A and B are shown apart, each in its own frame.
Chain A
């Protein structure tokens, strides 16, 4: 069984640029959630993808968007980067079978916006 992987590990971008972060979900998981974790804060929910569609979103602007592919891997895209977007971005995968699905987290991508 393969765990959740994320790429890249670290990324430095300039304000105004666009970025794409990638996540491979754990084998057998069909749901992916993305979180933003600013320094000293807990993870904040960005959105969740299930069967290639966004089915829930937190308080993040539309410039945060995502995709989920048929193999359940996912991308997080952020346009028009701002300095406050600097954070650790976490991906978590889960399976929708059963009443509640435990989330398995990836190691994160550290994004720095200068």
Chain B
């Protein structure tokens, strides 16, 4: 079974402060991990995936297999970062089938 846990429903930080959105997962194998973001009145969109090892909008996330975590980080929060963030996991594809499991989401609120 695959499971994603985001322990914080709401995270409030001041503009310019560092941000860390927590994500822990459970999966017996090598998963693919993602962060999705949903800005107000917009649709869900992919922010980044662990395989890419890239920084998007200043956000990075490192997969820690020992701690089964994939925390999202940004050194200096901006007001435009305020949004709902979902951590997601995709297990191994069999027959082209890709099941993605989402966490419950964390609302990031950046205070001016």
Contact = CB atoms under 8 A, between A and B. Distances in A.
B96 interface: yes
Nearest to B101: A45
A44 B86 CA distance: 12
A48 B86 CA distance: 20
Contacts, number: 58
Interface residues of B, number: 25
A55 B104 contact: no
B95 to A, nearest CB: 6
A11 B98 CA distance: 29
A42 B102 contact: yes
Given A48-B97, A100-B90, A42 B45 contact: no
**Which of the four size classes fits the interface of chain A?**
20 to 34
Interface of A: 4, 31, 33, 35, 40-45, 48, 50, 55-56, 58, 90, 92, 94, 96, 100-108
Which 7 A/B pairs are nearest by Cβ-Cβ distance?
A42-B102, A56-B97, A105-B44, A55-B97, A43-B102, A42-B104, A105-B43
24 contacts: A4-B43, A31-B96, A33-B100, A42-B102, A42-B103, A42-B104, A42-B105, A43-B44, A43-B86, A43-B102, A44-B102, A45-B100, A45-B101, A50-B96, A56-B97, A56-B98, A58-B99, A94-B98, A100-B32, A100-B49, A100-B98, A102-B46, A107-B43, A108-B43
